[in-house]
């Protein structure tokens, strides 16, 4: 458990735990089985103000620090990673506007994002441009007072259900990443479509889609910041979102550990609960230790975000790398402790293992995290 610093954080976590126990945990397996966006939970989160955790109060939100977003996502992910992505995805889609947008944009979109009136997604990745953003093919050409956008985006979290996207597109292709700009795009615009909703290994209750932009018109005032600054906003956004993914990984791992402990206490073999056999108890001890280490690293990274510390890029990548690897290892070991039953869908272990894998992939693969970490330490 993160060492909560004050009564406000403790009260917030208590509220989250009550809500997760009553609203999320009972339907987590059903969400995975149906593979549909849980609109009923979106409404619950909306009423609790969770969709505004990344939005400062002056723009209609409930932002009291990046740590609160991490706490909320961690607690939800203990029961259901798909549901935690409602909060995480909303914060991710809003961040480029917060970082680079005008006061007018923040005042126009902040209250709607925070109140849950709109869902907003972050649209950077393309079929041929994942880690290599300079290979981006989506184009935005200015014509008069509008930009005409053509291209596609893939693997967009909540893309099939969102109302707006913060879209990254080339305005000056000859400049590489220096030619990328960011836009606020209404998904009701003519020429926008969802090409497909992906069938995924995990996080099945969070729809992931490929988005098409065919002569989509965006007003010039929907340009975020200045032309050519989009890559900067995207990287700054990922610095801020990686501790949230790390918190998600910690939550999933903690949920898997609890399920393994409960199973280990109940499952009797050779005359006693299997949790009392040294081989199993040591596995549990190692899992608990690794989770504590991951959580400490995660919340230190979140603190650096709140402090705007220059080390935030480095530690955010460290947290995401380590916590996601821990989540995958813990989920696999929890399933192993449950043995054959762990492999069955009647228990949460196989779902947790499937969900854990994505934390090693999105917001930058763990291989990219190692590149970021190496670059940062070599520049110091």
Query: Catalytic residue positions?
Result: 363
> Residue 162 — φ and ψ, nearest 5°?
-80, 160
> Would you tell me how many other CB atoms lie within 10 Å of the CB of residue 55?
27
> Would you tell me how many other CB atoms lie within 10 Å of the CB of residue 195?
13
DSSP assignment string, 86-100: HHHHHHHHHHHHHHH
**How far is Cα 317 from Cα 373, in angstroms, rounded to an integer?**
6
Strand partners, 181: 169
* Secondary structure of residue 300 in the 3-state scheme: helix
Angle CA 332–334–337, to nearest 5:
110
* Secondary structure of residue 62 in the 3-state scheme: coil
Contact in structure between 4 and 177 (CB atoms under 8 Å): no
289 phi-psi bin (left φ>0, alpha ψ -120 to 50, beta other): alpha
**How far is Cα 376 from Cα 43, in angstroms, rounded to an integer?**
40
DSSP 131: S
For 155, the enclosing helix (H) or strand (E) is strand 146-157
Rounded-to-10 torsion of CA 284, 289, 293, 299: 70
């Amino acid at each position: 458990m993160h060492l909560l610093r004050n009564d406000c954080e403790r009260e917030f976590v208590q509220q989250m735990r009550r809500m997760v126990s009553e609203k999320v945990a009972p339907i987590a397996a059903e969400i995975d089985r149906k593979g549909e966006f849980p609109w009923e939970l979106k409404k619950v989160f909306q009423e609790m103000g969770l969709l505004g955790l990344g939005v400062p109060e002056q723009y209609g939100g409930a932002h009291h620090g990046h740590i609160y977003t991490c706490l909320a996502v961690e607690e939800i992910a203990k029961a259901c990673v798909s549901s935690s992505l409602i909060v995480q995805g909303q914060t991710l889609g809003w961040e480029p506007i917060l970082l680079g947008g005008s006061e007018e944009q923040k005042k126009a979109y902040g209250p709607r994002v925070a109140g849950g009136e709109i869902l907003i997604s972050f649209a950077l990745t393309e079929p041929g441009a994942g880690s290599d953003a300079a290979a981006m093919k989506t184009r935005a050409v200015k014509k008069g007072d509008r930009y005409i956008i053509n291209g596609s985006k893939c693997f967009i979290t909540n893309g099939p259900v969102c109302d707006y996207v913060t879209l990254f597109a080339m305005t000056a292709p000859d400049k590489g990443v220096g030619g990328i700009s960011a836009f606020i795009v209404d998904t009701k615009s003519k020429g926008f479509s969802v090409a497909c909703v992906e069938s995924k290994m995990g996080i099945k209750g969070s729809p992931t889609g490929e988005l098409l932009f065919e002569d989509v018109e965006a007003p010039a005032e929907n340009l975020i910041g200045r032309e050519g600054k989009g890559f900067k906003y995207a990287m700054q956004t990922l610095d801020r979102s990686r501790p949230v993914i790390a918190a998600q990984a910690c939550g999933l791992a903690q949920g898997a550990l609890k399920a393994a402990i409960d199973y280990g206490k109940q499952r009797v073999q050779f005359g006693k609960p299997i949790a009392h056999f040294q081989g199993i108890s040591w596995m549990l001890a190692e899992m608990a230790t690794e989770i504590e280490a991951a959580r400490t690293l995660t919340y230190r990274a979140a603190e650096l975000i709140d402090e705007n510390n220059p080390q935030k890029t480095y530690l955010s990548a460290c947290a995401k790398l380590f916590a996601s690897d821990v989540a995958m290892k813990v989920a696999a070991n929890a399933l192993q402790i449950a043995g054959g039953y762990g492999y069955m869908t009647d228990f949460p272990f196989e779902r947790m293992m499937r969900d854990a894998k994505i934390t090693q992939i999105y917001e930058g693969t763990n291989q990219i995290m190692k590149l970021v970490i190496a670059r940062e330490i070599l520049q110091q």
